[in-house]
Chains A and B, each alone.
Chain A
Amino acid sequence: MPELLVESAGVPRARAMVARAEWAARTFATYDKPSVDRIVRAAAKALADHAAEFAKAAVAETGFGVADHKALKNLACSTGLVDHYRDHDYVTPRIDVDAKIVEVPRPAGVIFALTPSTNPVATTSFKILLALMTRSAVIVSPHPLAKDVCSAAAKVMAEAALAAGAPDGVIQWVAEPSIPLINALMTDERVDVIVATGGSAVVRSAYRSGNPAIGVGPGNVPVLVDRTADIPAAAARIIESKSFDNSILCTNESVVIVESAVADKFVSAMVHEGGFLLNPEDRDRIRELVFPDGHFDIRFVGKDATWIAAEAGIRVPANTKVLIAPFDLAVPEEPLAHEKLCPVLGLIKVPTAARGIEVARAVLRITGAGHSAAIHSRDAQTVLAFGAGVPVYRVSVNVGNSLGSSGIHTNLAPSMTIGTGYAGRSSVGENLQPSHLIHWTRLAYNADVREVLPDFTGLSPWTAATGSVPPYPQASNLSTANVAPPRAQDDATELREEIRRLIVEELHQIIKG
């Protein structure tokens, strides 16, 4: 058989996607706010309509996580996200009368979005919607383990966006991701920004690419429970949060640090909520099983606590949600002090809250700096000391960290991409949000009082989207006049056809009941 040197077929196609995205971005950047809102809502709704289906498909494809929890995230990152940003505007120029500055938002352009296997659909939806809100084109490259479900998610969003008037090609996705393909797109000069969520290797190569990039580092979340905490509430929140999606999020708690004075009460409360306290022998078995030779075995990613216990030959109650593994010292050679993408929670007792802060710092020295931490306390001074002492950019207070740091149970920006800032080798320290994907052109008037800022109220440089974009290239002698849309007749027919189709579909739904 001849072996001809042929570039993997996906790579040239991916480059073609970038070229198409450039065209889409150029057009999208002229859309006005109502057009953008319509597109964003349509894409979000399309994903939300499939939230549960895609959640199940993600679990089936990747083999980890909890479908119900994923469905919740899918909703939070689609219609939930749109609700959150309902009153935000990344399109209309802003006028600062006092500063005599008018600010015109400029989209990033072409966004290359890498999405992880742990949070596949929610992150795909999240990044697509951020791109749409800010009028950029986006190419999604899913993690290979979740490529089918992510492609399906991107496709329904793309179709809905297009039907709502988005320019053709504004949402594209890589159906067969590969390392050469990702490298080719990351280093493609036509990509305006890479938004990388995933393993450190992916994030580091995004930063090495030579293109602007927003990538975030890993988490390893310490949580402190001090003597002033509402113990039953803290225990309930931590068990719920640690078991959320079987702990595959970077925001799931890793090590709980508890003041000795309340430790027994706290552990009992956790057991009451579905925690299972491992004795030292069982703890060692779990450590050996989950971290053979000190390295995390990815077989356990996102698996149920009961399954992991059974693998270790440990009998646990059927309702067990989290395995609690006590240990003494958070140091690099202690596997239990590392990030555990499964419902195994480290437990360290400390004599004082001050010592607890030192332990939290120790956990983050291993990995996870810049990411997130949590504290359960009623003492403002301790909370402040924790926030100032622990090198993270968000601390969830009296709330589970999984949905706290991702802004779903707190008022942080709801996000599937947690900026780890300079401490975590990232360019962004906040939760990724639409504002990170635009820059502003500032029209700065002469500060001299004699130079007056004219009235910009109501002015907009953008236009409403009409018809299909781009229009179908009909021969020029088929249109009656160049100004009239050549297919006005057809459009009306198409619209009627579409309405008819929707009605038929609805009737089917009703009949199926």
Chain B
Amino acid sequence: MSHDYGFFSFESKDEVLAKSKEFWNPGKTQFWIDEGVPLVIDRREGYFIYDMSGKRLIDTHLNGGTYNLGHRNPEVVSAIESAMTHFDIGNHHFPSLARTALAEALIAGAPPGLTKVVYGSGGGEAIDIALKTARHATQKRKIVSIVKAYHGHTGLAVATGDDRFSKLFLSEQPDDFPHVPFNDLAAMEEALVGRDVAAVIMETIPATYGFPLPNPGYLEAVKAMCERYDALYIADEVQTGLMRTGELWGISKHGISPDIMVTGKGISGGMYPISAVLVNEKAAGWLTEDGFGHISTFGGAEVGCIAALKSLEICSRPETRSMVHYISDLIGRGMRSIQDLYPDWFVGIRQNGVILGLEFADPQGAKFVMRRLYEHGVWAIFSTLDPRVLQFKPGLLLTPELCEELLDRAQVAIGLARDDVARAGRKAS
């Protein structure tokens, strides 16, 4: 069967995979084949993605929240279509209609103290903007992040993260970018006590590390230390923001007003790349001193701003918040009852709202579960930096019926993965 997409066509999925290796990314293409997830996403709609074969998957990966509102959310699509009759990317040199409107909307819903918005075109750029902003504001260079952190792959961002991504490109900068263990306040204090740190950057719940939850009081104490040692607190809310925790920003649940907050991914409904950095007055100085200090042709593209305005509005609705609380409750209870069936295998549930990290009793456990879920029509991804843990992120607008279906599928798949691991263990020994 030929696959004709109008602008291009392929004879078969095999052709796509072969050409993907030839012209695009052989390593990544082969990885998924080897992992038992030979997915080439074709049609996408709501919380469903379809492989080229027609196989339907419920998406609970959502690309880290990019598709919080579902794939091709009709409201966002319609907003963009409408925007394109008047706007394009815009001109980054000048004041802009859509950038101003979005900035005002972002500030209106932000934790207290944040007053200005800087735009990027993706999360990595936004993190770089945040780090540069902190360095300018404090006139210090050091950035503290946690061990196994992940904040993106751009020049500065990659240095905050695990060396899995920096070493490859000879981009580690250990002197300027010390890493401290998560949930370790003593280590954090040790890193800050010299007063030579510009900022601590912290995902409210570290996603790529498998959503280990901050110990009660941990983030609050880190924020207090930042104040004590003249460092800024940067909240990376790319994955925890936009209502995923049941509040618009996860950091609000901790009562923390960060100096800088970064948002991306879900902010524009997965339809147009844009990211934003919200800063308080303490950090905003460079925007007055030299407004051309950071330049980005695509940063804050006006069509993206309208997608973001719409997505932000949807996320901010009381109806959405209420639904997230319902979904969180149902999925949480459902997962606990699955855990009751397999307590020796499904050993932990980390949950805050519709952010879940599911822990399994095998160093590669989440990969087994991922494969079985894929087979049973659910797409969820293992945590790159802790493959025991499956990232499980149901959408914000799920219906009760789809949640029940999702739990049905998960129950069977988790059980089968347990048997797979047992078999693999017997073979190995």
Interface residues in chain A, defined as those with a beta carbon under 8 Å from any beta carbon in chain B:
2, 4-7, 12-13, 16-17, 19-20, 22-24, 26-27, 168-169, 470-478, 482
B211-232 vs A, CB cutoff 8 Å, 1 = contact: the mask equals 0011110000000000000000
Q: Please, which residues of chain A bring their CB within 8 A of the CB of B82? A: 4-6
CB-contact partner of A473 in B83, B216, B336, B352, under 8 A: B352
Complex CA–CA separation, A7 to B317 (angstroms): 17
Known A4-B82, A4-B85, A169-B319; contact A477-B399, beta-carbon cutoff 8 A: no
Contacts A22-B400, A23-B400, A478-B216 given; does A5 touch B85 at CB 8 Å: yes
Extra inter-chain contacts (11) besides given A17-B319, A24-B326, CB under 8 Å: A4-B83, A5-B82, A22-B399, A26-B400, A169-B319, A473-B324, A473-B329, A473-B353, A475-B216, A475-B245, A475-B351
Known: A20-B322, A26-B400, A471-B325. A477 touches B317 (CB 8 A): no
B59 vs chain A, min Cβ distance (A): 18
Which B residues from 302 to 321 make CB contacts under 8 A with A? 314, 317, 319-320
B93 within 8 A of A: no
Asked if A476 and B400 make an inter-chain contact with CB atoms under 8 angstroms apart, the answer reads no
Are the C-beta atoms of B399 and A471 separated by less than 8 Å? no
- CB-defined contacts of A470 to chain B, threshold 8 Å: 322, 325-326, 328-329
A475–B253 CB distance below 8 A: yes
Chain B residues bordering chain A, tally (CB within 8 A): 37
Residue of A nearest to B339 (CB): A482
For residue A477, which residues in chain B have a CB less than 8 angstroms away from its CB?
A: 213, 215-216, 350
Instruction: Specify which chain A residues have a CB less than 8 angstroms from the CB of B185 in the assembled complex.
Output: none
Chain B 233-254 near chain A by CB (<8 Å), digits 1 or 0 = 0000000000001100000010
Indicate if the CB atoms of A20 and B319 lie closer than 8 Å.
yes
Q: Is the CB–CB distance between A13 and B317 below 8 Å?
A: yes
A sample of 5 cross-chain residue pairs with beta-carbon separation below 8 angstroms, ordered by A number, consists of A12-B314, A19-B399, A23-B400, A472-B325, A476-B352
Whether, in the assembled complex, B210 has its beta carbon less than 8 Å from a beta carbon of chain A, the answer is no
Decide if B397 is an interface residue (CB 8 Å cutoff). Answer: yes
* Contact of B332 with A by CB under 8 A: yes
Instruction: Assess whether B350 is in contact with A16, with CB atoms less than 8 Å apart.
Output: no
| Pick from A5, A23, A471, A476: contact of B349, CB under 8 Å | A476
Q: Is the CB of B323 within 8 A of A19?
A: yes
B352 cross-chain contacts in A, Cβ below 8 A: 473-476
The 3 closest A-B pairs by CB, nearest first: A16-B319, A473-B246, A23-B326
B86 at the interface (CB under 8 A from A): yes
Cα of A477 to Cα of B399 in the assembled complex, Å: 26
> Once the chains bind, are B320 and A27 in contact (CB under 8 Å)?
no
A116→B140 CA distance, assembly (Å):
66
The yes or no answer to B75 lying at the interface (CB within 8 A) is yes
Q: Is B323 in contact with A23, judged by CB distance below 8 angstroms?
A: yes
B353 partner residues in chain A, CB cutoff 8 A: 473
Residues of A within 8 Å of B351, CB to CB, are 473, 475-476
- Determine how close the nearest CB of chain B comes to the CB of A216; give it in whole angstroms: 30
Residues of B within 8 A of A19 (CB): 319, 323, 397, 399
> Do A472 and B213 contact each other (CB < 8 Å), given the known contacts A4-B82, A23-B326, A27-B326?
no
C-alpha spacing A471/B245, complex, angstroms: 13
Instruction: Tell me which residues across on chain B come within 8 A of A473, comparing CB atoms.
Output: 245-246, 324-325, 328-329, 332, 351-354
Any chain A CB within 8 A of the CB of B78? yes
Q: B246 — nearest CB in chain A belongs to which residue?
A: A473
Q: Which residue among A4, A19, A475 has the maximum number of chain B CB atoms within 10 Å of its CB? A: A475
Contacting pair A169 B322 (CB below 8 A): yes
Q: How far is the CA of A475 from the CA of B350 in the complex (A)?
A: 8
Establish whether residues B328 and A476, one from each chain, have CB atoms under 8 Å apart when the complex forms.
Answer: no
Complex formed: what's the CA distance from A347 to B160 in Å?
89
| In contact, B213 and A476 (Cβ under 8 angstroms) | yes
CA distance A26 to B322 in the complex (A): 14
